[in-house]
Amino acid sequence: MIGIYPAVGSQEELKSLHTEDARISEEMGLIQQEGRLQNEETLASRSEDTQDGTNEQRTKVSKKRGRIRELEEIKAQLAQKELELMSKENALLEKEQSMLVLRQELDIERNLRALITKEKEQAEEEAALAMGLCLL
């Protein structure tokens, strides 16, 4: 029923957020795997490395940690957006339910008006007939 509202994009946005979240999780897993491999390589080659090689590896590790932090921040932002979208969706559902209730009330009111009008016309006819009989 949400499809009748212009905020239909909220479902699509939610899907894209889930897709982005999955992509980020996969990317984080790859980065962690690379980190583990690099740690193993570092341990194996530590005795062979010079001071410059060690600094270079530390720089790479530092960059990867920064990227992991960045991805975690993006994931948190996506979770926040998902909560906002869910909140908006709930608000739309409440409005839709209110609208349905108002439409039902309007239909009931129209039916009552039609009945009252019909009863009024019948009463007027009966009054006219009664007056006509009294005049005879």
pTM, to two decimals: 0.43
Crossing angle of helices 51-135/9-45, nearest 10°? 170
| Domains identified in the chain, total number | 1
Tell me which of 119 and 48 has the higher pLDDT: 119
Task: Print the domain residue range for 85.
Answer: 8-98
Position 127 in a domain: no
Tell me which of 61 and 99 has the higher pLDDT: 99
* Range of lowest pLDDT (52-61, 66-75, 119-128): 52-61
Nearest of 74, 88, 96 to residue 14 by alpha carbon = 88
Q: Give the C-alpha separation, 118 to 135, whole Å.
A: 26
Position 115 in a domain: no
Instruction: Specify the pLDDT at position 3.
Output: 42
Query: Average pLDDT of 10-19?
Result: 71
Given a cut of 70, whether residue 7 has pLDDT beyond it is: no
Position 126 in a domain: no
Decide: 107 and 60 in contact? Cβ < 8 Å.
no
Position 113 in a domain: no
Q: Give the C-alpha separation, 102 to 93, whole Å.
A: 14
27, burial (CB in 10 Å: exposed 0-12, middle 13-18, buried 19+): middle
When pLDDT is cut at 50, 70 and 90, the band that residue 6 belongs to is very low
Position 106 in a domain: no
